[in-house]
A and B are shown apart, each in its own frame.
Chain A
Amino acid sequence: MDEFERELRQALERRPAPPGLKRRLMAQRDANAARRGWHAWLRRAGYGRGWATATAALLLLAMAGGGVRWELDRRQEERRGEAAREQVLTALRITGHALNQVQTRLAEHDRQSEEGGR
């Protein structure tokens, strides 16, 4: 492994997961388990497929998952906003790069013009 590869390996050391990921994950897991539990209960209680079951399930789901839903929506909005922000910064970075190239070429032209004029 050469020096560059060693640098790359170091650059790619694992990053810690964001704080709160585990908490959110466990909360979602619990919500999923609760949903599965209610569905199983409904089936055992003799409720088959049909609109009544669906409505009951939805009601239970809404009660159990309302808070989680809002949190997911808010986080989704934040993620979209972050993504949009990143795109803007990317676009401006590329713009700056292009302008730098222009500037470099103009400077080179100046230099050659001056040399030609002597």
Chain B
Amino acid sequence: MAQDWQPDFERLVDEHQAMVYSLALRMTGDRGLAEEIAQDTFLELDKHLRSMKSEDHARWWLRRVAMSRATDALRRRRVRGMDLWVALNEQDGVTAEEKSSPLGARLEYLLTTLPEAQRGALILRYQEDMMPEEIAAMLDAPVATVKSNLQRGLKLLRAKALSQLKEFIRGA
């Protein structure tokens, strides 16, 4: 029952570190920076631990803070769509073979080249399975804006993926 739930920091880290790290990584495209953001996010959680009311609340809070810190980090570095993507390799814990399609690997990379707002919306939608209304509530944005970012982001991503495929064929 909700009122019996007590926040346990270490358990929350175990439960959500993959989520927080993945959000930061896909927003920034930088492994080192993503790790820094993940650490800062959890240290921030530590300060607010007593105000966490439930598991859902903690998850929502972590997503929000991770996204906010990632956006801040990007702004500090004055990066816009900068390609800092690290090629997928074993060190990430997911080998290339585990990805069922080469398109999947390219999509992850292409995402980092989208404008920030579109990238954020797509990550929350397709990594976290959040609905547009939930995303809007989290980012304090109008639902229409979120839907527009999703639509435009998806369209741009499709176009980039198709363009990459054509280039790949031409070069083969």
Q: Is the CB of B122 within 8 A of A29?
A: no
Interface size class of B (residues with CB under 8 A): 35 or more
CB of A90, distance to nearest CB on chain B (Å): 5
A-B contacts counted at CB < 8 A amount to 113
A71 within 8 A of B: no
Which residues of chain B are near A4, meaning CB under 8 Å?
A: 154, 158, 161
CA distance A83 to B84 in the complex (A): 7
Which residues of chain B are near A104, meaning CB under 8 Å?
A: 170
Q: Mark B80-110, 1 if CB is under 8 A from A, else 0.
A: 0011111000001110000111011101100
Main secondary structure of the interface of B (DSSP, over half): helix
Q: Is the CB of B31 within 8 A of A82?
A: yes
Q: Is the CB of B17 within 8 A of A17?
A: yes
Instruction: Pick 19 A–B contacts, CB within 8 A, sort by A.
Output: A5-B126, A7-B107, A8-B157, A13-B127, A14-B19, A16-B18, A16-B92, A17-B17, A17-B20, A18-B31, A21-B17, A22-B13, A25-B38, A26-B10, A28-B43, A32-B43, A83-B84, A100-B171, A104-B170
Q: A7-B104, A11-B99, A21-B17 given. 18 additional CB < 8 A pairs?
A: A4-B154, A7-B101, A9-B127, A11-B107, A12-B111, A14-B19, A15-B92, A15-B94, A16-B21, A21-B21, A22-B14, A24-B39, A28-B39, A82-B31, A82-B32, A90-B84, A93-B83, A97-B167
